[in-house]
Amino acid sequence: MYVITTERLTLRTWQESDLENMYQINQDSHVMEFFPSKINKDLTRKFILAVNSQFDKLGYIFYAVELKKTRVFIGFIGLSFVDFNAHFSPAVEIGWRLAFEFWNQGYATEGALAVLQHGFNNLNIKKIVSFTAKKNMRSRKVMEKIGLKYDKKGDFYHPNLDKQHELCLHVLYQFNQADDPLYYI
C-alpha cells in the first residue's frame, strides 16, 4: 500500500472496504452539486478499480483519504491523467472529493498541498492543472489556496457535457514548475 501523510491525513491506495463510503459520498447532493449527476455503486466500483490500475501505470492516483488519528475515510485527493481532448491536454490534473461533513476544515487544502509537493518533487511532473465548473467557487478557492493560478484564457466547455448544460463551462487553473521552481519545496 502506497501512503502519503500530512499532519492530519493519510492518503493511500484504495481498498475494497472503501467502496461503500465512496458510494455514499457520490450520492450526497451537496458533494455532487457541480457534477451532472450522482454516481451509482457500480460506477464507483469501476472508478476505484481504474484508479488503482492507474497507480501501477503512472505512479499517481486520486488517493483514498483517511483522518490520521481515527482512520475514518473522508474521500479522495490526488492526481489523475486528463483523458479527454482539451486545449491543455495531455496533462496531469489535481482533484479532490470529500464527504460533506469534512468540508471547511482545511483537509482539501492540506492534502492537495502534499500531493502537489509529491508530484513536483518525487514524480518530476512539470505542470499540474485543475478545473471545475465555473460556478464552483468552493473548489476554485481551494485551487487558489494551493497556489494554482487561474488561466483567464483557459475557460473551456467540458467535452463530456452538452454545451447547453449549466455545468459545461469550466475554468482552468494551473501551476507550471518552471514559473517558480522553489514554490512547492
pLDDT tens for residues 82-111? Answer: 989 899 999 999 999 999 999 999 999 999
In whole angstroms, what is the distance from residue 27 CA to residue 8 CA? 25
Res 185: pLDDT: 59
Q: Is the pLDDT score of 181 beyond 70?
A: no
pLDDT tens for residues 13-72? Answer: 999 999 999 999 999 999 999 999 999 999 999 999 999 999 989 999 999 999 999 999
Nearest to 135 by CA among 65, 66, 36, 56: 36
In whole angstroms, what is the distance from residue 77 CA to residue 144 CA? 16
Which sequence spans correspond to the domains of the chain? 3-179
Q: Please report which confidence band the pLDDT of residue 177 belongs to, taking 50, 70 and 90 as the band edges.
A: confident
**Cis ω before 36 (30° cut-off from 0):** no
- pTM over cut 0.85: yes
The fold of the 3-179 domain, in CATH, is Aminopeptidase (3.40.630)
In whole angstroms, what is the distance from residue 41 CA to residue 9 CA? 25
For the chain, the 3-state helix, strand and coil shares in percent, each to the nearest 5, are 30, 25, 40
Nearest to 25 by CA among 62, 71, 75, 63: 75
Strand 127-133 relative to strand 92-98, pairing: parallel
**Residue that the C-alpha cell 447547453 belongs to:** 164
Whole-Å CA distances, 172 to 32, 66, 156: 19, 28, 8
Provide φ and ψ at 55, rounded to 5°.
-60, -40
